[in-house]
Amino acid sequence: MDYYTMKEQKVTIQNRLGLHARAAAMFSRQASEFHSSIVVIKDGTEVNGKSIMELLTIAATKGSSITIKAHGKDEAQAVTVLSELVKQGFGES
Partner 1 sequence: MQRQVHILHGVPASAGIAIGYAVVLDTRKIERYPKIRITSALVEDETKRFHDAVSASKKQIIEAIRELENHNVVKEHAFILETHLMMLSDPALTGRVEQLISEENINAEWALKIALGEIEKDFESIGDEYIKSRVDDTTFVGERLLRNLIGKKMSGFHLLENSVIIAHDLSPTDTAMMNKEKVLGFATDVGGLTSHTSIIAHSLEMPAVVGLKNASSIVSPGDKVIVDGISGLVIVNPSESQVSEYEQRARSYLSLELKLKEKAKSPAITKDGKYVKIKGNLEFKEEVKTVLDHGAEGIGLYRTEFLYLNRNRIPCEEDHFEAYKAVVEAVSPYNTVIRTLDLGGDKFYSSLGELKNEMNPVMGLRAIRLCLREVEIFKVQLRGILRASHYGNTSIMFPMISGMEELLRAKEVLEETKDDLRKQGIPFDENIPVGIMVEVPSAATIADILATEVDFFSIGTNDLIQYALAIDRKNEYVNYLYEPLHPAVLRLIKFTIDAAHNSGIPVSMCGEMAGRVIYTPILLGMGIDTLSTNAFSISHVKEMARKLNIEKCRQLAENLFQIKTAQEIYDFINREIVDKSPDICALL
| Interaction mask 51-90, partner 1, x per CB under 8 A | xxxx-xx-x-xxx---------------------------
Residue 1: CB minimum distance to partner 1, A: 26
Q: Kindly write down the DSSP assignment for every residue of the chain, as one continuous string.
A: ------EEEEEE--STT-S-HHHHHHHHHHHHTSSSEEEEEETTEEEETT-HHHHHHT---TT-EEEEEEESTTHHHHHHHHHHHHHTGGG--
Residue 60: CB minimum distance to partner 1, A: 8
Closest CB to partner 1 among residues 1, 69: 69
18 near partner 1, judged by CB under 8 A: yes
Residue 72: CB minimum distance to partner 1, A: 15
Q: Is 20 a catalytic residue?
A: yes
Residues acting as catalytic residues: 20
